[in-house]
Every structure is written in C-alpha cells, then in structure tokens.
Structure 1
Amino acid sequence: MAPTFYHDDPKWSNIKPIPQNDTARPLAAIAYTDEYSEAMSYLRAVMAKNEYSHRVLGLTDHIISMNPAHYTIWLYRFKVLSELHADLREEIAWLNVTALKHLKNYQIWHHRQTVIDKLGSPEGEADFIATMLQQDTKNYHVWSYRQFLVQRFGLFDDEGELKWTEGMIEEDVRNNSAWNHRYFLVFGGKGEQTADKAIVERELNYAKAAIKKAPQNQSSWNYLRGVVRRNKLPTSTLKDFALEFADIEKPDDVTSSYALDTLADIYTEYQSKREEAKKALDLLATRYDPVRAHYWNYRKRLLE
C-alpha cells in the first residue's frame, strides 16, 4: 500500500505541521518512517489548535494503523468523538476491525472500555468477545475486558454469563483464564462476605467434577482450593476428596501431584500429622514434581 502524505492534500493546506522537537544530536533517535513523522507533525498542529473535526478523526485512524500503541492518539481520538457527538456504535464497528489486526494491544481495549462506558450498553459485546477468543482463547486483554463488562453492568448474578464460562471450561478445562473469570463472576461482587452455602457447595462440586475428568489439571485444583479459602472453610474439608487421587500409603497409585500438595497442607495443620506431611512432600520432590524439588524440600524444612 502506498504511503499517505498530507503536505500535498488541499484539505490540509491551512495546517502548518509541527515537527518533533528533538535535540540537535539525540542520544537514541528513533527511526520513524517519513509517513509516520509527517502524520505526527500534523497531529501536533491540530492538537495545538484544539481542533475536533472529521479530518482529525481520519488522521488518528491513519496514525493508529501505523502505531496502535500510541496512548496519546487514543485519548485525543475519544476527545474528538465526544466533541463531534459522533455515533459511538460506528466507533465500535471500527474498533472491531482494528482489534482483530492488533490482538495484543492494550490501548485498543482501554479505548473500547471508555466508549462502551459512555454508550451505557454492552449490546453486541459478547459476540465480539467470542470472535476475539477464537483467535486466542487466553488473551489477557479480552478476559480483563469481560470482567469490566461484568462489573460495569452488574452481571455478577447473570445466568447467561455463568453458562458462558461453563462452556469455555468444557471446551478447555485447562483454560486458567476461564476459571479465573468464573471465580470473579461468582465471588467478585460479594466483597469480604462469604457466599451462600448453596453457592459454595455448587462451586465445590463443579470444581471436583472437573478434577475427576483431569486430575492433573492445576487450574481446577486452584479453583477448588480458592473456594475453600475464600469462604473460610478448613483445608481439611478437602481431605477425603484429595485421597481419591493421592495416598501416601500407596505411593505408586498417585494420579495428581496437586492432590498430594493439598494433603501436605492438610497434614501440616496438625502437629500429630507432621510426619505424614513430610512423606507427601518427599513424594512430590522425588517422584511427582521433581522439577520443583527445591521448593518441596524447603517446605519440608519448615516443618522441622
């Protein structure tokens, strides 16, 4: 694609570009392209005049296409949209295309939050998020944005949102982002208070069912233990369940190092069970998680 320049465009003839004010011999000059340098010179000029117009909107579009990480451009773009009383649904449509070109760009998502916040409606956002997650199911920016929508529009108790997280987990039980979103959805709106007993029981059973499908999946074990800790239940609540996957008396039959870790924590809580805790940590260090042997041995030394 041929570069776009403004110096020979009659629509911009009334603007005197302001070049970047570098020192005569900059220590580490950035090698901008001529196209980018000129576009930024025109942007500085219109910003100095506080111009909010459709041509400036097009200019920000052009610069973003070359450098979507330039935070100042996004701020000025939103100011232009606000001053023009622009149709923000059109901006969302433009963002949909732009985001797919730059999957890992933070500024795009911050801008989207600002636009959706002003619109006051999450309509269509679930479909767009689904499209983005098809490209990368664990894109941090997408999941953070989903949490913003939950918080902004009070979706903590939304059944559809909960069903959606279940679908994501069923698709990939090891998707830690999906587990994290479920935890935020179920417990994020409750502050410090413990959840209803029925909800806690539901979440414990949900995590246990997922663990039975994939015992060596850290995400579901973390969720299970997070629910216990978050709702101030004793770790020993999980003892019988953990024994289904690990028993220090049957070291050859261990099917989950995370169950073994859970048992080590449970046994550590009781002075009379410290030897059992050491056995569990020994098994982790020597057989079931030797990559982290130093960590397990450190845990064992703490018991002594």
Structure 2
Amino acid sequence: MGKTYHDDPEWADIEPIPQDDGGLHPLAAIAYTEEYSEAMGYLRAVMAKNEFSQRVLGLTEHIISMNPAHYTVWLYRAKTLSEIKASLRDEIAWLNPTALKHLKNYQIWHHRQTMIDGIGSPEGEPEFISTMLEQDSKNYHVWSYRQWLVKRFDLFNDEEERRWTEGMIDADVRNNSAWNHRWFLVVGGRNGQALTEDKLKRELEFAKREVRRAPQNQSPWNYLKGIVRHQKLPTSVLKDFALEFADIRRPDDIYSSHALDLLADIYAEEEGSKEDAKKALDLLASKYDPIRAYYWNYRKNLLDQTETVA
C-alpha cells in the first residue's frame, strides 16, 4: 500500500467520510483500491468542512496521481489554490509533467485554462504545447487549448503564432488540426470581415504551395475553397490552378481528385459548361474516387435537374 492518512499525525483531526454505495449490499459497488478509498474518505471530510490548505493540495495531488479524471478533485484543488493564494506558476510547473503523463485527459486542460487565465499571460505556453504535440501532433485537447489561448490573449494577428502554424504544416502537410488552427487564426477573429489584399494573396499562395507538395491531400484544397468563399469570390478564380492537376481533356493524366471535384463545381457555375461538369463527375465516379460513386452520381443528377428546371 502507498501513502496512508489514518496513521499520519497531520491528519489526526480529520474523521474520514466513507463512500456510500447504497447500503450493506450495493448492487454495483466499484472495487476501489484501499489506498484510493482512504484518500477519498479524507477528501470528503475536508470538503464537508470547506477546508482550504496546503495539506489539501497534497491530498488532491495524491488522488490525481491515482485517478487524473476525477473532475471534482480538480475543481476543489483549483478552489483551494485560489483561497490560499498559492503560486499559480508553481501549479503550472507541477501540472506540466502530469499533462505529459496523461495526454488525453480533459480535466487537466480545463485546470490549465483556469490557472493561465488567473496568471493573465500565455508566457511559456507555446513552448509547452510544442512539447505536447511532439508526443501526439493531432491531440484534440492540445489544439483546443491552443485556440483558447489565441482567443483569451487576442493572438489572432500575432505573426509568431501564424509562423508556428506554417511550421507545423510544413512538418506534416496532412495534419488537419494544424490547418484548422491556421483557419481559426486567420479567419476566426475577423467577425466575418474580408481579408486585406495582402493577407488574401499570402493565404492563397501558402495553400497553393502546400497543394503542390501533396496534390491528393484534401486539407489545403479545403482551405483554398474556404478562403475564396470567405472573400465572397467566385470559385472560378481557382480554375487555372485546378487545371494544373486535372484536365478532363486528358482523363488519364489527372493528379488530384480534389482538383477534379473543384473543376466540377466551377464548370457547373459556368455558362454552357454543364457537360464538362458531368464529365468531371463521371471521372470521379468511375476512376478517381469510385468508393464515393453514389455521391458523384448524385451530384451529376442534380445538374440534370437544374437543366430541366431551366
């Protein structure tokens, strides 16, 4: 058995409150370890007394080491830190190795938000996030936390943050989380306002560069279309670029199904180009993305319906 409290003089004044599983013969009692059950009994007792102290921090740390997903323990720890005016920087220093040990634990990230919000500065957080992403570059909790940092400290126009996303994408062009973060950074803080001409050019050139690295990767294509849509530009502004990777006049020489999909949209909008749109969709259904043939044929049928209505 690990740490005990019943024989610790520091805890002699506390009478632990046992777990109530529903009487002498509970239907589905959880088989907690003796160490965990005892620690929780002491936590219930100090919570009943509304005690906030250094020893409570030690108790919560012990319980978290055994069960890092216990939300109530994290909340009481945060309350204790606030009440005794403990150093939040020291708490972050303790939290770092704990987070690295439990990469997918939501409670840790909520606690971290509370601490950093109280500190009022993101100093050191980008470096720690990079360390976390070295373990798992697509960890949802880490990316969500990074978005919170951007929003909390208004980093939407921070050039260092933008360059960081660029580096993450350069390292792995297929990292959808990095693409999503760049979108959040570039577009998310604009409240619907269009990008300036310089920023529009920068984003289009960046996405096109990444397409050329991996033409069959959907993320930069989606990013391109999203930027164009955000700017309220016609999809046709991407036609010449899409033709670099797909041309229905050379059906055996197509390098990207995503370019073909984009061309189908462009041709569908162009006057007199419905047949070209159908040909692009036929190529997708029969050769370049047959696993979604029903979807491409559905798109083609929609074109026929549009012609009938017209």
Shorter-normalised TM range: over 0.9
- Which one is further off, 136-145 or 26-35? 26-35
Q: Which residue of 1 aligns with 2:126?
A: 126
Q: Which residue of 2 aligns with 1:170?
A: 170
For normalisation by structure 2, the TM-score amounts to 0.94
Q: Which residue of 2 aligns with 1:179?
A: 179
The residue type paired with residue 255 of structure 2 is: T
Q: Secondary structure at the match of 1:122?
A: coil
Q: Secondary structure at the match of 1:252?
A: coil
Q: Which residue of 2 aligns with 1:67?
A: 67
1:8 counterpart = 2:25: no
Residue 150 of structure 1 and its aligned partner are, at CA, apart by 1.1
Q: Which residue of 1 aligns with 2:54?
A: 54
**Aligned mates of 2:272, 2:3 — CA distance in 1:** 76
**Aligned mates of 2:65, 2:191 — CA distance in 1:** 41
Q: CA 1:57 to 1:280, structure 2 compared with 1: closer, same or farther past 3 Å?
A: same
Residue 65 of structure 1 and its aligned partner are, at CA, apart by 1.0
Q: Which residue of 1 aligns with 2:142?
A: 142
**Aligned mates of 1:303, 1:60 — CA distance in 2:** 62
- Which one is further off, 63-72 or 2-11? 2-11
- Which one is further off, 268-277 or 178-187? 268-277
1:84 counterpart = 2:84: yes
The residue type paired with residue 44 of structure 1 is: R
**Aligned mates of 1:26, 1:167 — CA distance in 2:** 55
**Aligned mates of 1:26, 1:290 — CA distance in 2:** 56
**Aligned mates of 1:273, 1:150 — CA distance in 2:** 44
Residue 5 of structure 1 and its aligned partner are, at CA, apart by 2.1
Q: Which residue of 2 aligns with 1:93?
A: 93
What do residues 5-50 of structure 1 show as CA deviations (whole Å, max 9, x unaligned)?
A: 2122121111111112221344433222222122111111111100
Q: Structure 1 segments of 4 or more deviating over 4 A?
A: none
Tell me how many residue pairs correspond in the alignment.
303
Residue 298 of structure 1 and its aligned partner are, at CA, apart by 2.0
Following superposition of structure 1 onto structure 2, how do residues 1-304 of structure 1 map, counting pairs within 5 Å?
Answer: 2-24=1-23, 25-270=25-270, 272-304=272-304
Residue 302 of structure 1 and its aligned partner are, at CA, apart by 2.1
Q: CA 1:31 to 1:286, structure 2 compared with 1: closer, same or farther past 3 Å?
A: farther
Q: Secondary structure at the match of 1:205?
A: helix
What do residues 116-143 of structure 1 show as CA deviations (whole Å, max 9, x unaligned)?
A: 0110011111111111111111111111
- Which one is further off, 29-38 or 162-171? 29-38
**Aligned mates of 1:236, 1:63 — CA distance in 2:** 59
Gaps of 5+ in 2: 305-310
- Which one is further off, 225-234 or 112-121? 225-234
**Aligned mates of 2:236, 2:102 — CA distance in 1:** 46
**Aligned mates of 1:279, 1:19 — CA distance in 2:** 72
The residue type paired with residue 242 of structure 1 is: A
**Aligned mates of 1:21, 1:274 — CA distance in 2:** 70
- Which one is further off, 232-241 or 293-302? 293-302
Residue 287 of structure 1 and its aligned partner are, at CA, apart by 1.0
For normalisation by structure 1, the TM-score amounts to 0.96
**Aligned mates of 1:5, 1:297 — CA distance in 2:** 67
Gaps of 5+ in 1: none
